[in-house]
Amino acid sequence: MTDAPITAPEDAVESMKNREHAKPQLPENVRVRFCPSPTGIPHVGMVRTALFNWAEARHTGGTFVFRIEDTDAQRDSEESFNQIIEALDWLGLDWDEGVRVGGPDGPYRQSERGGIYQDVANKLLEAGYAYESFSTPEEIEARNVAAGRPKEFGYDGYDRNLTEEQKAAFRAAGRKPALRIRMPDEDVSFNDLIRGEITFKAGSVPDYVIVRPNGDPLYTLTNPVDDALMRINVVLRGEDLLSSTPRQIVLYRYLMDLGVAQEMPLFGHMPYVMGQGNKKLSKRDPESNLFLHREHGFIKEGLLNYLALLGWSIGPDRDIFSMDEMVKAFDVRDVKANPARFDIDKATAINAEHIRMLEEQDFLNRSIPYLFNEGLVSAAEWDSLADHERGVLTAAAPLVQSRVRLLGEVGGMVGSLLSDADYLPPADDARKQLKGNPGEVLDLAVAALKDVPEDQWLTDTLHETLNKALIEDAGLKPRAAFGPIRVAMSGRRVSPPLFESMEIVGKDISMKRLENLRAHLDEVLS
């Protein structure tokens, strides 16, 4: 299981306010971990957790451990496991110990650590920190109702002091016990790295199960045991896991007494990521799907930059930064506790800035797979393209790179430049550019351009020729003059700069596109 939330009563927490507090001192050798469960497509909340842990490790010169919590056979999948690896590789969030790279505390998949959990559970039972519990959920509910409590109140401690005779009777009846941790009758407090002092009142957290009756260990055991044995000393995770923290702290105390754990880790709970309507962003929301963002054309620099802003900032009025700059500045104690809202428009704008910062050839290399998927080029890699394709894209890059926000938009900008079609049917929104008398405009343009020599079919010449014919001589406004020509050349409302596009496409195809739009004009406008 992953870090799954455990619900506590609303009055369990005495203090959970985000306020100025004395920040705990971080350990000298920070060890953080990222431990997802492979139960679906990687989502932005998962990636932000990985990013903040990675950044803290890199900032402090510490260790980033990556393990997989895959003890839920019904929900876990190898496909999801491979997708998590793919996501981290794509984003460049490398790890020091764990899955695939190894380390001193393996194996790093919980499904391969069953003997470890069984051994620790036996030690907890022998020491009296855990006890056998035979109560079924139905019996617990019935006792709560009989006592005048809500049936959902939770476990009532019934099995804490069963005699050996009572246990034997349950076993004789075919019952198998779960193992529960014996919670102390005292407040549990800790200084959260993000939220300050938090106290869970005595009695607010019931004794909880760590091993099912069938012998399967639960997250409540496996997660803290793995953290202890891997010497994790800073636990950074989502706010939804806050209610499970007193259980982990109590178990850690027991593990320290048993010599399994060396120290109590520091905890930091990152704010919720909210979606539309200020609701918590669900794994099922399209905006949460990491690979969907990649499919649309987010680059890793832009997406990571935006995710870093979901709870943290590098400085006042500064939204754009590199991962190197983030690593230099990041301190988890500067993360805000208030919920952060995922704003796709802002994320897209930040991505656009990072696209503009790419080297031109890097921009082209990253764009090619998108163009190939759209059927616009002959290969998925730059070196495998035809010479003509490379020539067009090299000429188009400076025109397009500053105008796209996502790599998925590149195809719409360069498709008409790569095409040898002599007629591009206008898109619906492009038809709105055909106002006034587009037929007259196209006739004047064809007449003015037909005598331009092939070797003079250049941006400046085209600009001067059409400007004189349509604006100076015909008295047209620029939008009315150049709108129909833009539609003829691209078939789109938004396109690369007009005259540069005409130069790239060449005289022959440019003239045919102008003439053919004129020929189809009545059909287009009907």
Query: What's the CATH number where 519 sits?
Result: 1.10.10.350
**Are both 390 and 488 inside the same structural domain?**
no
Report whether 501 contacts 417 (CB < 8 A): yes
In this model, does residue 4 exceed pLDDT 60?
no
Phi–psi pair at 414, nearest 5 degrees: -105, -5
In this model, does residue 518 exceed pLDDT 50?
yes
Tell me if 8 is assigned to some domain: no
Query: What's the CATH number where 164 sits?
Result: 3.90.800.10
pLDDT at 21: 58
**Are both 167 and 260 inside the same structural domain?**
yes
Tell me if 262 is assigned to some domain: yes
**Are both 263 and 152 inside the same structural domain?**
yes
Tell me if 334 is assigned to some domain: yes
pLDDT at 290: 96
Asked which of 270, 298, 318 is the last residue of a domain, the reply is 270
Query: What's the CATH number where 72 sits?
Result: 3.40.50.620
Whole-structure pTM value: 0.92
**Are both 218 and 132 inside the same structural domain?**
yes
Q: Where are the beta strands (DSSP E) in 41-95?
A: 63-66
Q: What is the share, in percent, of the chain residues with pLDDT greater than 70?
A: 96
**Are both 204 and 120 inside the same structural domain?**
yes
pLDDT average, residue stretch 302-306? 98
Condensed to tens digits (0 to 9), the pLDDT of residues 84-108 reads 999 999 999 999 999 999 999 999 9
**Are both 283 and 230 inside the same structural domain?**
no
Element counts in the chain: helices (H) and strands (E)? 20, 12
Condensed to tens digits (0 to 9), the pLDDT of residues 224-251 reads 999 999 999 999 999 999 999 999 999 9
**Are both 155 and 304 inside the same structural domain?**
no
Owning domain of residue 49? 25-103+271-357
- Check whether 468 is labelled as a binding-site residue: no
Number of domains composing the chain: 4
* C-alpha–C-alpha distance, residues 99 and 3, integer Å: 18
Query: What's the CATH number where 400 sits?
Result: 1.10.8.70
Tell me if 194 is assigned to some domain: yes
Condensed to tens digits (0 to 9), the pLDDT of residues 457-501 reads 999 999 999 999 999 999 999 999 999 999 999 999 889 999 999
**Are both 379 and 507 inside the same structural domain?**
no
Residues labelled as active-site residues: 283
Helix (H, G, I), strand (E, B) or coil at 351: helix
Query: Of 15-29, 147-161, 390-404, which gets the smallest average pLDDT?
Result: 15-29
Helix (H, G, I), strand (E, B) or coil at 231: coil
In this model, does residue 170 exceed pLDDT 50?
yes
Condensed to tens digits (0 to 9), the pLDDT of residues 412-423 reads 999 999 999 999
Condensed to tens digits (0 to 9), the pLDDT of residues 270-289 reads 999 998 877 888 877 888 99
Q: What is the share, in percent, of the chain residues with pLDDT greater than 90?
A: 89
* C-alpha–C-alpha distance, residues 10 and 20, integer Å: 23
Higher pLDDT, 10 or 25: 25
